[in-house]
Structure 1
Amino acid sequence: MKLILSVEPVRFPLTGIGRYTYELALRLQKNPDITDLQFFAGRRFLAGLPVANDESGSGYGLKRAVQKNFLAVEAYRLLMPLLRKQALKGHSDFLYHSPNYYLPPFAGPSVATFHDLSPFTWEHCHAPQLARYLQKELKTTLLRADALITDSDYTRRELAAYFGWPIERIHTVPLASSAEFHPRSPLVLREVLERHGLQFGGYSLFVGTIEPRKNIETLLDSYARLPLALRVRWPLILTGYHGWQNDAIHQRMESAKREGWAHYLGFVPSDDLPLLFAGARLFVFPSLYEGFGLPVLEAMSSGIPVVCSNSSSLPEVAGKAALMCEPTDVEALTALIQRGLEDESWRASAMEQGLLHAASFSWERCAMETLHVYKTVVSGS
């Protein structure tokens, strides 16, 4: 099989889709069933798999600026498919896979991964110009794709129902946590934790983009209801890309910081993140909507108990190893956080169950099931 894999998501900041693309590419490179693997990004083929930096290059700021300009976004939307079509000319004997929704005009078979439907179902959580761009492009993908991949059964069903797409042509392929996420000793973690002003087992952790969909204000409301002594002993530490529509969230975080029970670290280097997970006492993730919810799996792989919402795909990812409640139930979330911090019996059980549950997901499994989708498309079955 000859494969073209779009690796455009492997860039700063390396968020969930970038991680998925990178891990998938690593394994497809080694698979003997793929006789010719070509990496594609922008409008050109690459010599090898790129590596995301911890800092944005000069082009990243330009891209963010362009996304805010309607005419620039529309010009990009109309021009780039033509340039990509030209670059892909003569490769119709390949299968093209986009791990990030978008499919360019392509003469051969093609597959796209849909991670969630937030541009449609959570439109208000995206910048307006970006939401319009995504909606147009994703509808075009649905016209071009021979098959679709989703990270969860929830998104598979949602995608089929929302667009009336044949569900038998949508395939669930779960993600996984990477090898860097595993339990670590206090000694190993000391240097990184001290650099961030933290102590082993001395904080609750939230990891995610600072945006409304992550439900951070509800998290802050719930944490604020804990006894003050508990909040000060185990403060809430938040980290993630700055995001959008978050002025109110940042104001709330600053207020909590002044009160001594919360702190926003910003976007931390990728090498530090697994250590922040491993050093936490509890991971809290009350997101309103997730296509998968990779941080939950990363916390479990790190041996950290999890409290999360029961929304969208999260019950699939968390299994029976996490405490879950409705995402907007402030009182219930407070009670679960308190139990997660104080109930030593539950904590021990959650750590053990979480490690076992997380081990059932792997990037090897993800790559093999993705390859099965490719074969299904190529064979026409």
Structure 2
Amino acid sequence: MKRRPFVLNTHGSLLGYKKYLSSPWQRLPYQFYDWVTLKTSARRAQAVVVSSKLEYSDALEFGIDKRKIHIIPMGIDCIAEVDRTRENETKELRLLFVGRIARVRRLELVLQAVQKLLIPWKLTVVGGEAETASVARSGYMGELKNLCRSLEIEDRVHFAGFKNPEELRTYYQSSDVFVYASLYENFSQPLLEAAGAGLPLVTTEVGIAKEIADDGGALLAEGSPESLSACIESLQDPGLRLSMGKAAQKSVQKRFDWNTIMQNYMELYRSL
């Protein structure tokens, strides 16, 4: 009887904890889990699927044979049709963040960055607070709101809370720039959604950011308020934002279309 092939899909489970857990004692349970489960599974697998170039690097560092590793990203169901040619009547640069409110997302850097802007702006933060203790630690949302008060920007920052996909589309449509300062993402669905909606990205180099930047749809910032602020200010021109947004959307259509992803999986399975 022919042995069934075994394909391991990592789904962001490789090494992310090293980015946001500094203590060796905090890392110990994850390292034990790696040794007992993931490393054993990776050795047994005929193929290991990762979702981005960044996660490919994590897989190599994890010790997975590079001949087994295949980059097949997640996809997006549909791309919102957004008219970016309409004039922004408020004259403010409308900035958007979407995602779980967790410390790994480093929203404090975004708040410090926008406070430095010399142009009119408004920031909308969409997402609920994370509940995972190792990532979030309770009280982060309160800290962010206190920071807004101390920076005297609370009247220009709106915490919208969790929104469903249909509501999210409205936020993508009514924004000018998507801002992201995460410390680590193996993929980042919010970047995919924002790019798919035709928004230019200002982001740290996490998840799929490098791929979209290579296609002209994102500016990669260092993890500092100054770098983020400079990137945001460079997008004052509506024409530049429009061209970058179109490039981001084309990048998603090219790289993250479900039909292409399914074809890649079929080719992988046939090869085993």
Question: What is the TM-score with the length of structure 2 in the denominator?
Answer: 0.79
The CA deviation string for residues 289-325 of structure 1, in whole angstroms up to 9 with x for no partner, is 2212332232122122211113464212332221222
Q: Which amino acid aligns with 2:82?
A: P
RMSD between superposed Cα atoms in Å: 3.2
| From 140, 145, 148, the counterpart of 1:253 | 145
Deviation, 1:118, is: 3.9
Matches within 5 A, 1:1-381: 108-116=4-12, 117-122=14-19, 124=21, 131=30, 135=34, 136-163=36-63, 165-183=64-82, 203-227=94-118, 230=120, 234-243=121-130, 244-245=136-137, 247-256=139-148, 259-311=154-206, 313-319=208-214, 320-326=216-222, 328-340=223-235, 342-361=236-255, 362-377=257-272
Q: Quick one: distance in 1 between partners of 2:250 and 2:100?
A: 27
Query: Is the Cα contact below 8 Å between 2:186 and 2:206 reproduced in 1?
Result: no
5+ unaligned residues in a row in structure 1: which ranges? 1-91, 94-106, 188-198
Deviation, 1:159, is: 0.5
SS in 2 for 1:256: helix
Following TM superposition, the consecutive aligned residue runs of length 4 or more in structure 1 with deviations greater than 6 angstroms are: 127-130, 199-202
The CA deviation string for residues 177-231 of structure 1, in whole angstroms up to 9 with x for no partner, is 32153315899xxxxxxxxxxx99873111122222222111111112124x72x
The CA deviation string for residues 2-53 of structure 1, in whole angstroms up to 9 with x for no partner, is xxxxxxxxxxxxxxxxxxxxxxxxxxxxxxxxxxxxxxxxxxxxxxxxxxxx
Q: Quick one: distance in 1 between partners of 2:100 and 2:29?
A: 16
Q: Quick one: distance in 1 between partners of 2:171 and 2:91?
A: 9
Deviates more, 1:366-375 or 1:139-148: 139-148
Q: RCO (CA 8 Å, sep 6+): is it higher in 1 or 2? A: 2
Query: Is the Cα contact below 8 Å between 2:178 and 2:194 reproduced in 1?
Result: yes
Q: Quick one: distance in 2 between partners of 1:224 and 1:365?
A: 41
Equivalent pairs counted in the alignment come to 254
Deviation, 1:366, is: 0.8
**Change in 2 beyond 3 A, CA 1:324/1:346:** same
SS in 1 for 2:42: helix
SS in 2 for 1:260: helix
Q: Which amino acid aligns with 1:345?
A: G
Deviation, 1:253, is: 3.0
Deviation, 1:334, is: 0.6
Query: Is the Cα contact below 8 Å between 1:241 and 1:267 reproduced in 2?
Result: yes
Q: Which amino acid aligns with 2:114?
A: Y
Q: Which amino acid aligns with 1:236?
A: L
Deviation, 1:255, is: 4.3
Q: Quick one: distance in 2 between partners of 1:123 and 1:376?
A: 37
Q: Quick one: distance in 2 between partners of 1:297 and 1:310?
A: 14
5+ unaligned residues in a row in structure 2: which ranges? 131-135
**Change in 2 beyond 3 A, CA 1:241/1:248:** closer
SS in 2 for 1:323: strand
Q: Quick one: distance in 2 between partners of 1:339 and 1:119?
A: 31
Q: Quick one: distance in 2 between partners of 1:123 and 1:222?
A: 21
SS in 2 for 1:292: coil
Q: Percent identity?
A: 23
**Change in 2 beyond 3 A, CA 1:312/1:364:** closer
Query: Is the Cα contact below 8 Å between 2:105 and 2:183 reproduced in 1?
Result: yes
Question: What is the TM-score with the length of structure 1 in the denominator?
Answer: 0.58
**Change in 2 beyond 3 A, CA 1:174/1:346:** same
Query: Is the Cα contact below 8 Å between 1:212 and 1:246 reproduced in 2?
Result: no
Q: Quick one: distance in 1 between partners of 2:165 and 2:109?
A: 27
Deviates more, 1:268-277 or 1:308-317: 308-317
Query: Is the Cα contact below 8 Å between 2:52 and 2:207 reproduced in 1?
Result: no
